[in-house]
Amino acid sequence: MGNNILEIENLTVSFDGFKAINNLNFSMEAGELRTIIGPNGAGKTTFLDIITGKTQPTEGRVYFQGRSLLGQSEHKVARLGIGRKFQTPRVYLNLTVRENLDLACNRSKSVLKTFFSKPSSSDKRNVAGLLETIGLFPKAELKAALLSHGEKQRLEIGMLVAQSPDLLLVDEPVAGLTDEETENVGSLLIALAESHSIIVIEHDMEFVRQIARKVTVLHQGSVLCEGTMDEVQNDPRVIEVYLGSEEV
């Protein structure tokens, strides 16, 4: 298993006999920024659902840092160090950007305590650093409701990072964003990749080109191929799978 943060063997997930994931094998080293692409229905979201404990596989094994995740609840998986960013931002709209991050930094403490006790100086440093990282320092005191969609995405990524996960799972973070916001989210993920292992699921090929290191292509619930963006784009199997559905 070596230095692999994630190791998945012979994974199959059947929904009433339909195999959304079909004998899938996947591994990833600690510190990687991995992009997973594939046409609609390829099994990308189901793949994340299994890692996070939302769905249990029909067959196969999943190891995180050498430890089996099978049978673990979503809550337990999160506590083991896997953070997931869903497609739509889940931030508290009536709280300021800073309050959202304070809350995320204090997830383990109670909500009441977070608001009625002064943040410690190390919490303050963390939040200031996070505001800087996600590029929202100038908007720290604004209610999250006033942020653009892209800023909300960055805030939610910041809230995930506040919980210090070892592995970050990010599902289609730039869907519906402007070009400029897309680039900002890309830069943020690249910056975070210096200190985290990250899996990004994505459709937007422009964006994949911006962030891609190693790319895994899923098709019909299995890995079709892996490589650099150039390698997978020129792979005849990938071209065939994408033909008629969308551009690579």
* Residues of the shown chain interacting with Mg ion in the complex, contacts defined by CB under 5 A: 44-45
Kindly write out the interface string for residues 25-64 of this chain, putting x where it contacts ligand ADP by CB under 6 A and - elsewhere. Answer: -------------x-xxxxxxx------------------
Instruction: For the CB of residue 233, give the shortest distance to ligand ADP in the complex, in Å.
Output: 18
Question: Which DSSP category does 117 fall into?
Answer: S
Residue 46 or 184: which CB sits closer to Mg ion?
Answer: 46
Instruction: For the CB of residue 179, give the shortest distance to ligand ADP in the complex, in Å.
Output: 23
CA distances from 19 to 15, 23, 52, 61 (A): 6, 9, 19, 16
In angstroms, the CA 131 to CA 133 distance is: 6
Positive or negative, the Cα torsion across 63, 75, 56, 36? negative
Instruction: For the CB of residue 6, give the shortest distance to ligand ADP in the complex, in Å.
Output: 17
Residue 15 or 115: which CB sits closer to ligand ADP?
Answer: 15
Residue 46 or 106: which CB sits closer to Mg ion?
Answer: 46
- Establish if 210 lies at the interface with ligand ADP (CB under 6 A): no
Q: Which residue has the tokens 């100086």?
A: 121
DSSP string, 25-93: EEEEETT-EEEEE--TTSSHHHHHHHHTTSS--SEEEEEETTEE-TT--HHHHHHHTEEEE-SS----T
Q: What angle do CA 51, 240, 211 make, to 5 degrees?
A: 50
Q: Which does 57 bind (CB under 5 to 8 A by kind): ligand ADP, Mg ion, none?
A: none
Q: Which does 85 bind (CB under 5 to 8 A by kind): ligand ADP, Mg ion, none?
A: none
Binding to ligand ADP in span 119-178, by CB under 6 A:
none
User: Could you tell me which residues are beta bridge partners of residue 63?
Assistant: 7, 68
In angstroms, the CA 142 to CA 66 distance is: 42
- Establish if 108 lies at the interface with ligand ADP (CB under 6 A): no
Q: Which does 165 bind (CB under 5 to 8 A by kind): ligand ADP, Mg ion, none?
A: none
Instruction: For the CB of residue 128, give the shortest distance to Mg ion in the complex, in Å.
Output: 34
Q: State the residues that interact with ligand ADP by CB under 6 A.
A: 15, 20, 38, 40-46
